[in-house]
A and B are shown apart, each in its own frame.
Chain A
Amino acid sequence: MKDSVSLENLTIEDLLSIYPYSVEFFDINGLPIDDVNNTVKDYITSLPYVFLEDMGLNQEDLLKRFRAFMSRMKDIREERTFSIRDITILGGRDKNEKLEEIEVKINIGEIICIVGPTGSGKSRLLADIEWMTQRDTPTKRQILIDGSVPPRNWRFSVEHKLVAQLSQNINFVMDICVGDFIRLHAQSRMIDDIEDKTRQIIFHANELSGERFDLNTPLTSLSGGQSRALMVADTAFLSTSPIVLIDEIENAGIHRKKALELLVGQNKIVLIATHDPLLALMGNKRIVIKNGGIQKVIETTPNEKEGLLRLTEIDNALLKYREALRNGQLLDDIK
């Protein structure tokens, strides 16, 4: 792309055809496009003073805004995939100022569980990662990305959001259908293969939830389980963030194991704060937090993995009871 100063010398027609997203500049600033043969600069200088005054702008500001807009959107388009290989947590100190002598490296594709009593600092650890703390939070921890200190400006950039969140009490609030919703999200990411992505997301979301839904289902009429399933699939395929934080999805009514596989399959790091042994054992490692500090890191042992099979059986049995309950059956004779 040309630098954003020369962009203002393009005609509006050319601008819109080379950078389709530039239409948002006119839209969001309430600028009606009349003559597309005008250059952007001429267009802006032709806007009447009173019109700009109503919006609290002047020509010079608006031109500056145009340049800033174009250069920001270019960054976002180019940073489409914010890919990293690993993150490292360098220990700080716990609530008693005791040194947290530990270094934890987490690779893309890993599922890590965070466990510990209420108030121990699980959420604080997640927040430290999200903020890419450089010893400037109460824990004095430091986060490295791919082994080095991340650029400071990543903290505030919409483009480098390290973390996407999925949690129990999140809902959809937009009043549109599933297909339009996915398209809108894809457009906001400025990706090209929108239709393809939409199909993938719908397919996988249906794999995760029991009841089927399609592109025309209104977003707000999805059940809890369907919503969660769509959120997981959407995050897997459309979120730029390489890390997904999951907060207790045990009762979400979706296939949890498949959900985790889908996310790590799309090269994400998955961090789960949980009290559920079944979920905890799906992880490769678990970080144990106590009194504000990382007490230890436990690698899931082969024995535990075996235990996972037994837990899964118990879980499946419970599931059958739940199903029977839903269907109005008696709960006395279930195999």
Chain B
Amino acid sequence: MKFITFSGPPSSGKTSVILKAMEELKDKYFKIGVLKFDCLVTDDDKLYDAQNIDSRVGLSGSMCPDHFFVSNIDDCLNWGIRHFYDILISESAGLCNRCSPHIKGCTAVCVIDNLMGINTPKKIGPMLKMADIVVITKGDIVSQAEREIFALKIRQANPDGIILHVNGITGQGAGELAVLIENATQVETLKGKELRISMPSALCSYCLGETQIGMDKQKGNVRKMELD
């Protein structure tokens, strides 16, 4: 089974891009499954359903979304294998700007849009910097020059990745992404595989449900700002 992780800031175009790429593959009769990770709500399952793509949704709710992702992803992979998918995709909205759900040995895609401003590539951490493929969307609404400037910033943030422009509405560029997906890594199990970067460390009193503010309530793994 081909397994690909898609990540990217909220509303950057992940679902649109996945749908367009899958449309390109529809003549090849692949069986495709998608897992959508989000925090509170999502309608993405309806969008996938409308294109006859099986999907399952995982909402992290009050859990740290990153931890939620790792503790579920191997079960998700097994789900994919049980259902005989040829291609399994996980879509997760930017959990935070630091973390990435990318896994060593599994093709990792980051979707980012042209409207986010030229400082965004700097602000987004490993999710962008450690992706194998960076998809840039919404090129249809900004000028050629802005596209070029943005692409260079992304190249600087991720010197080795493949950078691809895809239009999430017309599907321009999706065929090319589809080729890369077809050639993505073959994965049969995630047991023993490693995340590309460590997850945020946590476990302070607030992780355990504390709501009161104050020094005496801060227990466990706490980090303080330096203020003058």
Chain A interfacial positions (CB closer than 8 Å to B): 24-25, 27-30, 53-57, 65, 68-69, 71-73, 76, 123, 127, 131, 136-138, 155-156, 158, 161, 164-167, 169-174, 181, 184-185, 188-189, 227, 231, 234-235, 238-240
Question: Contact at A123–B144, with CB atoms within 8 Å?
Answer: no
Assuming the A-B contacts A56-B98, A185-B148, are A30 and B143 also in contact, with contact meaning beta carbons closer than 8 angstroms in the complex? no
- We find that the number of chain B residues with CB closer than 8 angstroms to chain A is 43
- B146, A172: Cβ atoms under 8 Å? yes
Assuming A69-B159, A170-B143, A174-B118, is B148 touching A123 (CB within 8 A)?
Answer: no
A181 touches B145 (CB 8 A): yes
Encoded as 1 (CB less than 8 Å from any A CB) or 0, chain B from 134 to 165 comes to: 00000111111110110111011101101110
Chain A, residue nearest B145 (CB)? A185
Q: Which of B142, B144, B175, B197 contacts A235 (CB 8 A)?
A: B144
Residue B105, interface by CB 8 Å = no
Interface centre among A56, A174, A181, A234 (most CB of B within 10 A): A56
Which A residues are CB-close (under 8 A) to B164? Answer: 156
Residues of B within 8 A of A169 (CB): 140-141
Q: Would A56 and B176 be within 8 Å (CB), given that A28-B121, A171-B143, A173-B146 are in contact?
A: no
Task: Give A241's nearest chain B residue, CB to CB.
Answer: B144
Partner of B157, one of A28, A155, A173, A227: A28
Nearest chain B CB to A117 CB, angstrom units: 18
Of the listed stretches B122-130, B185-193, B204-212, chain A binds: B122-130
- Distance in angstroms between the alpha carbons of A91 and B10 in the assembled complex: 41
A76-B152, A156-B162 as given contacts; A56 in contact with B100, CB under 8 Å: yes
Q: Which of A57, A156, A185 contacts B149 (CB 8 A)?
A: A185
Known: A56-B197, A131-B175, A138-B175. 18 other contacts (CB 8 A): A28-B121, A68-B159, A71-B159, A136-B179, A155-B176, A156-B164, A158-B151, A158-B152, A170-B143, A171-B143, A172-B143, A173-B114, A174-B117, A188-B149, A231-B143, A234-B145, A235-B145, A239-B145
